[in-house]
Structure formats: structure tokens, C-alpha cells
Structure 1
Amino acid sequence: MAAAELLEEIEDCRNHMVNLAMKTSFSDKKVVEISVRLDQLLNQFEQLK
């Protein structure tokens, strides 16, 4: 995945996580799952550097 695509996916994932957390809570199971996915994306991005 190209860096630009990865950055876009990171931003989308982050926005989704924050929006869901505002509706539920940061400890909601789905929010935690999205957070794990966001961590994976960020790790991928770091490996590209």
C-alpha cells in the first residue's frame, strides 16, 4: 500500500474511532477493535519510513 493511501486509511480509521467513542465510550468493544486496527496501520506507516 502506498504511503498516501495508508495515510488516508489512518485518518478514516481515526475519525471512525473517535466518532464511535463519542456515541458509546472509549472502552466499547468496537472502539477497542478499531483502535487495534489503527495501531496496525500506524505500524505499517512507520515501516515505510
Structure 2
Amino acid sequence: MPTKKGLLREIETKREHLNTLAWEKPLFSKEVVQLSKELDDLLNKYDNNYRTRQGLVNSF
């Protein structure tokens, strides 16, 4: 598992790449959708590994 700092760096890099690609291609293009899914996966990984441990996630 990557460190918290490493995962945040990976998220920011992916976000920047997605932002750049979204200006070049339609938002519904395969490339943009795939990159968006990859960013979602990274954000979920961060949320599951770090936010949950800190008790920041509400349980319903």
C-alpha cells in the first residue's frame, strides 16, 4: 500500500492529467471516462485507507 503522501501525489497527478485531457477531448470519450474511473479508484482508496481510520466517515 502506498504511503498517504504518495497516494495524495498520485491523486493530484491523475487529476491534472484528467483536467488536461478533458480540455482536449470530449468528456464522454473513452480516454476521459477511463481516466475519471482511475481517479475515482484512487480517491476511494484514500477514503478507505485514511479517512475511515480517522473516524471521519459517518455511519448511517
Q: TM-score range by the shorter chain?
A: over 0.9
Give me the CA root mean square deviation: 0.7
Which is helix-richer, 1 or 2?
1
What is the CA–CA distance in structure 2 between the aligned matches of 1:25 and 1:17, rounded to whole Å? 12
Calculate the TM-score normalised by the size of structure 2. 0.77
**What's the CA shift for 1:25?**
1.6
What is the CA–CA distance in structure 1 between the aligned matches of 2:28 and 2:19, rounded to whole Å? 12
Q: Which residue of 2 aligns with 1:18?
A: 19
Aligned residue pair count: 49
**What's the CA shift for 1:48?**
1.6
Equivalent residue letter for 1:43: N
- 4+ residue segments displaced more than 6 Å: none
Calculate the TM-score normalised by the size of structure 1. 0.92
Unpaired segments ≥5 residues, structure 1: none
3-state secondary structure, aligned to 1:13: helix
What is the CA–CA distance in structure 1 between the aligned matches of 2:11 and 2:19, rounded to whole Å? 12
Structure number with the bigger relative contact order (C-alpha 8 A, sep ≥ 6) is: 1
Bigger Rg over Cα:
2
Unpaired segments ≥5 residues, structure 2: 51-60
